[in-house]
Amino acid sequence: MNNNNENEFGAAERFVAPALAAGGLPEAYVQVVMAVPMINERALWESIFQFVGTIDQGASSNRFYGGREHDRSMYMSLTVQHNRPFFRPHEIQVNVSSRDQGWTSEEVGLRSHCSAVDLVLGHHERDYPENVEWENARGRTKVVRNIAAGNAWEETERTFDEHSHIVGAMRQHLQSNPQETVGIYTIAHYPGWMCKVRNGALVVKWAPIVEEIWNEVQSRHEQASRRPPTEHPRKRSRVA
């Protein structure tokens, strides 16, 4: 590691972590970063991520839901607020324990589209509104398709990263709205099919936005460079 990177990591350790934790970017960090020659965004990103990491917002539920036919019900939800500067959603983690009704006249043991768990953006008190075309819903993605006539609970863990459609939709929504809700939904198609859930958990991970931090640093540096030098009044010499 060269001296520049050592200086960059040192600057992040001393100023970035407490600054972002407090929701701001202090002038001291700007001065240190701009004093490091040849700084680049990649090194800045790595230093911020190493010393700051992600901010997690999560919720969980142990409520048993026995399912129903023709189902589009919200099992649980998490509402996140965009009130922290220099951060944006980075990942959505989902854990859910689910199964179908336990019997079928179709082939047993295959993944079925008739009983499933979805992840959906938007707050809906009861069912997802029927007047919205489900397949084209904003911010909807499949978590798991249940095994047909599965007799055991299946534990599913999924992570949707910043390149996924649903995280992208959440970011876009939060650009013009103060909050967003993400929910675990039980889906069942056709008579006789159900989706049962016995527990679930949601975590939204927020990561620092290196582009905004970099732009803020550059902007403050340019403002400082345009300020006229401060003139100190000369002290009068005492006459003996």
- Class for the domain spanning 55-208: mainly beta
Report the alpha-carbon distance of residue 89 to residue 207 in Å, rounded: 6
Residue 116, Cβ density class (10 Å: 0-12 exposed, 13-18 middle, ≥19 buried): buried
Residue 37's pLDDT is what? Answer: 46
**CA–CA–CA angle 64, 70, 75 (5° rounding):** 30
φ, ψ of residue 130 in degrees (nearest 5):
-70, -25
Q: How far is CA 72 from the centre of its chain?
A: 24
Domain borders along the chain are: 3-53, 55-208
Q: Mind listing the pLDDT tens digit of every residue in the chain (240 residues)? A: 333 333 444 444 444 555 555 555 555 555 555 555 445 556 666 666 666 667 889 999 999 999 998 888 899 999 998 877 778 899 999 999 999 988 877 766 678 888 999 999 985 545 554 444 455 456 889 999 999 888 889 999 999 999 999 999 999 999 899 999 999 999 998 888 999 999 999 999 988 776 666 666 667 667 766 767 666 555 555 554
Q: What is the pTM of this model?
A: 0.71
